[in-house]
Structures are given as structure tokens and as C-alpha cells.
A and B are shown apart, each in its own frame.
Chain A
Amino acid sequence: MQVLIEDTWVRELRAGEPEAVARLHGLLLRAARFEVARRGQTLPELRGDELDDLAQEAAADAAVSVLRRLDDFRGESRFTTWAYKFALLEASAKVRRRAWRGRELPLEPESWAQFESPSPTPGARAERAALLAEIRRGIDSALTPRQRLVLVALALNGVPIDVLAERLDTNRNALYKTLHDARRKLRTYLDEKGFAE
């Protein structure tokens, strides 16, 4: 029964029927509000109505994406689940970007001392310190400048990937590919230096 109802809904959306579009918008707004509420603690300076504006913007952008990509929906999941992910993506990216708005991005390694963690034994502490030192040398010597910038910003300094993508005028997928290549090079470097998995 649920599948039949969803089939009808998708058909009505393809036909651009206003009621179906309004229902879609309601669904996406619910998901966007859910996400903004989950991540809202990263935006303590925003009031409730400002957070809701963010959710409204996310729902509107998600509706555009859903309607543009309706032909990609092949019924492998429920339509509502498929649509939800667009709203969650838009809302989470907007929250991350808003949280970093106006902030300078740390693109150089912060103090490496902050990554020292109390390991249970002196031996484990020394082993971890040696690995981190070799990783640091690998970042300096084995990576391209672009790979170094991306790895340091994302993996060391905690810059969200959507924020860095926006500042570098690229997208999340391309940036992750750069991160992935950098990580692979670092692993190869460590392997050559005798650091086994």
C-alpha cells in the first residue's frame, strides 16, 4: 500500500502538481529541522528563528535537488528515505558553513603537541610519538602542496569538508579524493619507513 501511495506521489511530482510539491516541501522541512536541531549546538550565537531560517533554506534547496533528480529514484528505498537524505545533506552543510563563517581556516598544522595522548604504557606512548613524527615528515616530504593543504586542514585542524570545499571553490567529492590520495601516499611512505599496519 505504501509503495502504491509513493508511486502516485512521485508521478504527481513529475507532473509538477502543486499539492505534491507542497507535501514534498513539508517532508524536507521536517528533515532539515531535525538536522539543524541535532547540530544546532555548534551555533550558540543563533536564535531559534535564525536556526529555523537555516532549516527553511535547506528545505528549499533540497526540494530543488529532489525535483531535479527525480529520475534517479529507482525505488530501491522508500521515496521518503531517498528524499530525506537531500534535506539532511543541505542542512548539515549549511550548519557547518554557518559555524565557520568569517573564521580564518587553519591551513598549517597547529601544535603537534595537542595530538599527544596519554597511552597506557611508556612503550605505547613512545611508539605513537614515533609514528606521529614520521607522519609529520611524510606530510612535509611525500605530499604535493595541495594534498598537504587538504590533509592538514581536514584531518589535523578539523575544518569541515564542506567549508574547505567552498573556500577552495571545489566540491566535497573532489576534495575527499584529494584526501584519499594523500592518505594513500602517507601509508606508502610509512610502509617504506618500516611502520607496519
Chain B
Amino acid sequence: MTDLTILRLLGPGEPELGCDECFDALDHFVELELAGADADEAFPGMRAHLAGCSACAEEHESLRALLELDHVETR
């Protein structure tokens, strides 16, 4: 029954960070993700927030993409 409309209306339905907490953790979270470490264990509630907040999710995607580009350019 989960689809995008329902997710937007009801949210992730599990404990999640707020936008400010998400922003504070974002740099460390993304670096852990790109290093293959367990970012979700380090920051409980972050993934749920990214599922529930499209603006924070976009910035998470952008930071990941920018760091990946940096990695390619400095290789």
C-alpha cells in the first residue's frame, strides 16, 4: 500500500530527526555513506527524515553527488 502520495501524507512512521538536526549531521553522514560505513547506525532517524522531507533529501543527494564529482576530478 506504500506509494509516494501515501508516504507524503503519512510520513515514514518511525522516529526521525528534524530538519536542523539533519543539516547538522549531513556532512558526516554523507562521508560515512561514501566510505561504505554504517551511516544509519551512527545517525538513527536520519534515513527516516530523508524519506519524509523532500527538501533535505534533495540536499543529501546533492552533497553526495558533489563529493563524488570531487573524487572523480581529483583522481
Q: Chain A interface (Cβ within 8 Å of chain B)? A: 31, 34-35, 38-39, 72, 76-78, 80-82, 84-85, 88-89, 92-93, 96, 115, 117, 124, 127-128, 131-132, 135, 151, 154-156, 160-162, 172-173, 176-177, 179-180, 183-184, 186-187, 190, 197
Contacts and interface: CB of A to CB of B under 8 A. Distances in A.
Contacts of B13: 183, 187, 197
Contact of A172 (B24, B27, B55): B55
Q: Is the interface of B mostly helix, strand, loop or mixed?
A: helix
A31 B11 contact: no
Contacts, number: 103
A173 B13 CA distance: 18
A162 B54 CA distance: 11
Contacts of A151: 9
Interface in B30-72: 30-31, 52-55, 58-59, 62-63, 65-67, 69-70
B28 A131 contact: no
Interface of B: 1, 3, 5-6, 8-11, 13, 16, 18-20, 23-24, 26-28, 30-31, 52-55, 58-59, 62-63, 65-67, 69-70
Nearest to B67: A81
Contact of A131 (B1, B26, B31, B53): B1
Given A77-B28, A117-B5, A187-B13, A88 B55 contact: no
Contacts of B23: 85, 89
8 A-B pairs with least C-beta separation: A183-B11, A77-B27, A155-B8, A81-B27, A173-B19, A173-B20, A76-B28, A82-B27
